[in-house]
Chain A
Amino acid sequence: MKMVKRIAIQNIKYYKSKNFLIGIAVFLTTLLLFLVPTIGKDMIESQFAATNEIYPSYHALLRDVDGDMVEKLSVYHGIETWGLRSDAALVSANNAQIILLYMDEKGFELNNQKLSEGTLPVKENEIVVSRGVLSALGQEAKTGDTITIPYQVNHDGALDYVKEKPFVITGFLESPTENNTQNNSNALYPALISKEFLEHEVSPEEIRYRFFLRVDTKEHTTTDEIKKQIHAIGESLHISENDIRINDDYLLANYVDPVFVPVIAIIMCIIVFAGVITIYSIYYVGISDRVREYGKLKAMGASKKQLKNMVLLEGMFVAGIFIPAGLIVGTLLTKGIFTLFFKLVGNKNIMMETITQLVQSGKVSLYHLPIYVLAVLVAFLTVRLGLQKPIRVVSKITDMEAIRYQGEDEKKKKGKAWRKSYKEVSVFRLAKIYLAGKKKNVFITVAAMSATGIFVMVVATVLSCANPKESAASSILGQYKITLHVESDNKEHPERKWNNIIKNNPLTEDLKQEILNIDGITDISCFLEGYATVDIYQDVDTYCISGVPDEHMEQLLDGIIEGNVSYEDLQRGDVCIMDKNMLYWYPDIHLGDTLKFCFLDEGNHSVDVKVAAIGDYDSGFNNYNYFLMGTRGLENICPGELNGRFTVFAEEDYNPNVEAAIKQIIGKSDLLLLETWKEQYDIWKSALLITNAAAYAFLGILGMICVMNMVNTMIHSVHLRRREMGMMQALGMTQRQLVKMLVMEGLFYTAGTLILSVGGGSLLGYPVYLKVRELGGFNIRTYHYPFAAAVAVSLILLAIQLLLAVGLGRFVKKDSLIERIRYSE
């Protein structure tokens, strides 16, 4: 083993340029294998950490829960943690209201509450307040002081007579908004009282809790699974759906696309593939020399196992040096990449600000030991796979074959005694003749580089189709969208219920006129909306039918991809167009199926509507309403004031004065919401900038791994032909001609790679674009050929190839002509 090790080390030194190239490929592979999962995990973990800082972390709260139910829930399988809150009394003071509420420690934690000082109340006369509470009470006090509070206990759903009681302050609530609420009339402040106080003031049968819970996230990993589990808990314990409030803010902020992990795994597989073919092809080019050398060792008595170990050890030694280097550089780059990411985003929202603070303060670690281990293992695996073929070649060959081994090209050539001569020999022809004699090397090099090139072009095609202006235009029709704030289960805001809105809809003709009067507004279209539950294969859910105004009927009809329906049909109310997105959830719905819509109005009446066509529409057009018909059609089947959306068209995509004027007008109603083209544009611009930067950085490194192939092949060809080139120069070949010949050879690799990459990538890019478009990725609608990427890939390859040719030309020149002529391999 000692000798095997020594020979392996000597081989590293002897084949240093080849091993250095393999080392670079291993280094870059490790770098990507480390960075891709690290950045992915950092994104998720920092998002989770920020979410936990910003939002209450319970998954759902169950209202009106009595003591018995608390007992049942507390032992329920599948609930990971839970906490309680119960409102005991109300304090009315100086235009503000203070709720005296009890929260247990877990409830306090799940509500993301923090004490700026002190402890939670335990005794009956203890209380935790905030500065806002004291201000509302018109008192000043500190922890340990006693304050007197007049309060009304809640009995039988009504407030009791006012009582007064002295409380000892045990702590202060930390509230980020308390300073802002100082002068806020009608403000609502919480103050925490003890369980003893609650049980003393409210009889046990009257106590009602809010039960905050988190389901077991090990069993239920996705947002959808968590929601399903919550509903299952409610159903099994007969808790009314109205008493279940899911913490959507938290769940949405914590949402991880289920395809995230598979995507990271696929990207890592691509990296491994690129690494393997690069290492393999670097070894392959020039394997005949190595086999001859190993054959001599075999003739001297080395066993197959020893030969295998020599190749393996050599590769592993190189990996042992370059894998740690990749990890070190990856570690150094991680924070920089993360910082750059936030610079690109621009810290525009509280989430980003919180993530930045958490990362800067070190509360979120960007480095994960399992990923280091994973990167090391996968990188070693990549090297091992890359060595598989050379090991097999070395171990299979017999002594004599090894000594005679000349590679497949040479074998073929040996059998070929002659070929038709070219009458004249030029520099171009010299390159051509040489490459024609090295077909397999050329093929392997070009194929290895093209595999990456095609991947680059396909990704570039998708990215070039993603344009922030087009994406924004797909997300919003016109420049401004005014919609209604509809909520079905918010008891605090009954006015937001749909059947209340349609009785007094703020999207009126007057409002339309008022907005039209703003300078710069050119037109407003009014889309109707009708909320209904639809029974689709026993799965009852709420949907909204959109009534498309006349001026957009042409667009509606143009979007039909299956079936046939006329303008007149769509105004009757018995047929509709269904958006193809519905087929994603309900693939069994067919053209011609009749669906029963039960409208959420006073009468809750039902109407049968036939799916006459299937259409493909932007979210800006359908506003996520997947059933569409004409306005008169909807009016025929659904009573009430159905104006659901004003799409406002303006002279300019963005004008702050116009936006301010619209905001001022709609600010008069709490039920109106405004979305702008500019907001969408900014969101898409930022998202695409990040995606582009990340994707091209990844592709760049991947490209560099594969360029190692060309570098190796060209270095190898020059190394082998030093004597031949020296002879040509002795015969009068100028340095310029030598470089020209190398450029020609390199150009062949470049041209071959470009033809396959740009050609194959362009051909493959189109179906991939169609698929991404179908899946709604980046909101892309229009195909754009990735000219910039094609030009960039071509120029970069040409530049590398030219630099390589000039560099190799200089390398050859380093030795005197006579040294080169005398050079013997």
Chain B
Amino acid sequence: MNNIVKVENLVKCYGSGENLVKAVDHTNLEIERGKFTAIIGRSGSGKSTLLHLLGGLDRPDSGKVFIEDKDMYDLKGDDLAAFRREKIGFIFQDYNLIPSLTVWENVVLPLGLAEKKIREEKVMDILNKIGMKDKKDSLPATLSGGQKQRCAIARALVSSPAIILADEPTGNLDSQTELEVMDILKKCVQDFGQTLIMITHDEVIAQMADVVILIEDGKVVRKS
């Protein structure tokens, strides 16, 4: 097995005393490289917390997260940021585009932050794939929800990270756009050989995944 992510005994709690909530409770998990993994579960089951811990956006109380055999939480501060930049791309439900930047600038932002040379053809190729070539100079405020999410997908793909973490990327979209976005995502993952880990509530989307992980009360209860 070629695992890209390995989670060992991961714990994350919120609150204290009587209000203590174990969002991730001694979770162990392995995710295969190049596959589309969907994480499903009820609201408050801890799936988003798990995704954030996988992406290094939050720090666990205990346990380890290995990305390509590197313990991510061994890293701190700017090293962690650089690692994240290198290895992980994010797609959020509410897009999180930078409002003052154009579509092009939003897409190339991870490369700019990594101080990498921008290959215009590659960026144009991605924009072309997601159907945003004509909108490259548009500002986010003028885009529809679907266009914004496409832009966010392009941004996640542009630096060719090994893993793409998507937190309900179609949650704010209508069903038609949802399918279009999923189609783009799957296609891109296939074309660029990336690992997609996605949280979703949607059974239909979960069925598109290669692997489905069910989370309940912070624990992995099923993997299929």
Smallest CB-CB A-B distances: 8 pairs: A732-B85, A425-B112, A421-B104, A734-B78, A421-B102, A417-B142, A418-B137, A727-B96
CA distance in complex: A126, B59 (Å):
101
Shortest Cβ gap from B1 to chain A (Å)? 29
Segment of A170-178, A379-387, A814-822 engaged in the interface with chain B: A814-822
- A423 vs B84: C-alpha distance when bound (angstroms): 23
Known: A731-B155, A732-B114, A818-B57. A434 touches B100 (CB 8 A): yes
A419 within 8 A of B: yes
Residues of B within 8 A of A419 (CB): 102, 137, 139
Q: Is B174 an interface residue (CB 8 A)?
A: no
Q: Does B58 sit within 8 A of A, measured CB to CB?
A: yes
**Residue A420 lies at the interface, judged by CB distance under 8 Å to chain B:** yes
Q: Which residues of B contact A69 (CB under 8 A)?
A: none
Give the contacts of B102-161 with A (CB-CB under 8 A). 102-105, 108-115, 118, 120, 136-139, 141-142, 155, 159
Report yes or no: A733 in contact with B102, Cβ–Cβ below 8 A: no
11 contacts between A and B (CB under 8 A): A417-B138, A421-B104, A421-B136, A423-B118, A424-B111, A424-B118, A730-B84, A730-B90, A733-B81, A734-B81, A737-B113
A sample of 18 more A-B contacts (CB under 8 A), given A437-B100, A723-B96, A731-B113, is A413-B141, A417-B138, A418-B142, A419-B102, A419-B139, A421-B102, A421-B105, A425-B109, A426-B112, A427-B112, A429-B112, A732-B159, A733-B81, A734-B77, A734-B82, A735-B78, A735-B81, A816-B59
Q: Which of A697-756 contact B (CB under 8 A)?
A: 723-724, 727-737
A731 and B100: CB pair below 8 A? no
**CB-contacts of B31-66 with A (<8 A):** 52, 55, 57-59
B101 engages A433 (CB within 8 Å): yes
Q: State how many angstroms separate the Cβ of B56 from the closest Cβ of chain A.
A: 8
- B96 near A433: Cβ-Cβ < 8 Å: no
Q: Which of B58-98 contact A (CB under 8 A)?
A: 58-59, 77-78, 81-82, 84-86, 90, 92, 96, 98
- Chain B residues within an 8 Å CB radius of A417: 138-139, 142
Does any Cβ of B come within 8 Å of A416's Cβ?
A: yes
CB <8 Å contact, A433 and B142: no
Interface size class of B (residues with CB under 8 A): 35 or more
| B139 pairs with A416, CB closer than 8 A | yes
- Our pick among B58, B96, B113, B138 for the contact of A733 (Cβ within 8 Å) is B113
The size bracket of the interface on A is 35 or more
Question: B57 contacts which chain A residues (CB < 8 A)?
Answer: 730, 816-818, 821
Give Cα distance in the complex from A416 to B141, angstroms.
Answer: 10
CA distance A723 to B77 in the complex (A): 18
Q: Is the CB of A422 within 8 A of B105?
A: yes
Interface flag for A491 (CB, 8 Å): no
Taking a contact as CB atoms under 8 Å apart, the answer to whether B100 and A728 are in contact is no
List residues of chain A with CB within 8 A of the CB of B109. 425, 728, 731
What's the Cα separation between A723 and B96 when bound, in Å? 8
- Residues of chain B with a CB closer than 8 A to A724's CB: 98-99
Complex CA gap A148/B36 in Å reads 128
With most chain A CB atoms within 10 A of its CB, the pick from B52, B81, B109, B142 is B81
A77 within 8 A of B: no
Q: Are A732 and B141 in contact (CB-based, < 8 A)?
A: no
Q: Judge whether B85 and A731 touch: CB under 8 Å.
A: yes
Rounded to whole angstroms, the CA-CA distance of A413 and B110 in the bound complex is 25
Q: Bound complex: CA of A816 vs CA of B14, how far in Å?
A: 13
Q: Across the interface, which residues of B come within 8 angstroms of A238, CB to CB?
A: none
CB distance from A721 to the nearest CB of B (A): 9
Nearest A residue to B56 via CB reads A817
Q: Determine whether A348 belongs to the interface, using a CB cutoff of 8 Å to chain B.
A: no
Expressed in whole angstroms, the minimum distance between the Cβ of A564 and any Cβ of chain B is 67
Asked if residues B137 and A433 are in contact (CB atoms below 8 Å), the reply is no
Which residues of B, 185-217, contact A by the 8 Å Cβ criterion?
Answer: none
Bound together, the chains give a CA A409 to CA B84 distance in angstroms of 34
Partner of B110, one of A427, A731, A734, A736: A731
Question: Which A residues lie at the B interface, using CB under 8 A?
Answer: 413-414, 416-427, 429-430, 433-434, 437, 723-724, 727-737, 816-818, 821
Residues of chain A within 8 A of B155, CB atoms compared: 731
Chain A nearest CB from B184 CB (Å) reads: 19
Q: A730-B57, A732-B85, A816-B58 are in contact. Are A421 and B113 (CB under 8 A)?
A: no
Judging by beta carbons under 8 Å apart, are A729 and B112 in contact? no
Give min CB distance, B216 to chain A, whole Å.
21
* Min C-beta distance of B157 to chain A, whole Å: 12
**Complex contact B82–A732 (CB within 8 A):** yes
**Residues in B neighbouring A818, C-beta threshold 8 A:** 52, 57-58
Which B positions have Cβ atoms within 8 angstroms of A?
52, 55, 57-59, 77-78, 81-82, 84-86, 90, 92, 96, 98-105, 108-115, 118, 120, 136-139, 141-142, 155, 159
Q: How far is the CA of A434 from the CA of B105 in the complex (A)?
A: 13
State A62–B138 Cα separation when bound (angstroms).
Answer: 92
C-alpha gap A422/B120 in the complex (Å) = 12
**Contact residues in B for A423 (Cβ distance below 8 Å):** 104, 108, 118, 120
* Residue of B82, B105, B137 with highest tally of chain A CB at under 10 A: B105
Contact A728 B142 (CB under 8 A): no
Per the bound structure, the CA–CA distance linking A704 and B84 in Å amounts to 41
Nearest-Cβ distance from residue B212 to partner chain A, whole angstroms? 24
Name B143's closest neighbour in chain A (CB-CB). Answer: A417
Measured CB to CB, the closest approach of chain A to B75, in angstroms, equals: 12
Q: How far is the CB of B23 from chain A (nearest CB, A)?
A: 11
In the complex, A501→B75 CA distance in Å? Answer: 95
Q: Which residues in B have their C-beta under 8 angstroms from that of A730?
A: 55, 57, 84, 90, 96
A816–B58 alpha-carbon span in the complex (Å): 6
B113 touches A728 (CB 8 A): yes
Instruction: Let me know if B139 and A731 touch, CB within 8 A.
Output: no
Give the docked Cα–Cα distance between A778 and B102 (Å): 58
Report B83 CB to chain A, min CB distance, Å: 9
Chain A residue contacts of B78, Cβ below 8 A: 734-736
Docked CA distance A729–B120 (Å) = 24
Residues of A within 8 A of B108 (CB): 423-425
Q: Whole-angstrom distance between the alpha carbons of A821 and B84 in the complex?
A: 15
Considering only CB atoms, which chain B residue lies closest to A732 in the complex? Answer: B85
Q: How far is the CB of B192 from chain A (nearest CB, A)?
A: 17
Within the complex, the shortest CB–CB distance from B15 to chain A, in Å, comes to: 14
Chain B residues lying within 8 Å of A735, measured Cβ to Cβ, are: 77-78, 81
The residue from A414, A426, A727, A732 contacting B84, defined by CB atoms under 8 A apart:
A732
Residues of A within 8 A of B90 (CB): 730-731
List residues of chain B with CB within 8 A of the CB of A437: 100
Contacts A433-B100, A728-B98 given; indicate if A421 touches B137 (C-beta within 8 A). yes
Most buried by B among A427, A723, A732, A736: A732
Closest to A414 in B: B141
Q: Complex formed: what's the CA distance from A420 to B105 in Å?
A: 10
**Choice from A418, A727, A734, A736 contacting B98 with Cβ under 8 Å:** A727
Name the residue of chain B whose CB is nearest to the CB of A433: B100
A426 — which chain B residues lie within 8 A by C-beta? 112, 115
B102 nearest in chain A by CB position: A421
B123 CB, nearest partner CB in chain A, Å? 9
CA distance A729 to B77 in the complex (A): 10
| A733 contact set on B, CB distance < 8 A | 81, 113
Q: Which residues from A are CB-within-8-Å of B96?
A: 723, 727, 730, 821
Which residues of B are found within 8 Å of A727, using beta-carbon distances? 96, 98
Complex contact B142–A729 (CB within 8 A): no
A426–B78 Cα distance when bound, in Å, is 17
Closest to A816 in B: B58
Residues of B within 8 A of A734 (CB): 77-78, 81-82, 113
CB-CB under 8 A from B86, the residues of chain A are: 732
A-chain residues with CB within 8 Å of residue B136 when the two chains form the complex:
421
Cα distance, A242 to B111, chains bound together (Å):
95
Give Cα distance in the complex from A420 to B112, angstroms: 17
Contact A821 B92 (CB under 8 A): yes
Enumerate chain B residues within 8 angstroms of A427, measured Cβ to Cβ. Answer: 112-113
Report the Cα distance A793→B157, complex, angstroms: 47
Given the complex of chains A and B, what is the CA–CA distance between A817 and B99 in angstroms? 19
Instruction: Point out the residue from B52, B81, B99, B105 that lies within 8 Å of A729, measured CB to CB.
Output: B81
Distance of A335 from chain B, by nearest CB (Å): 50
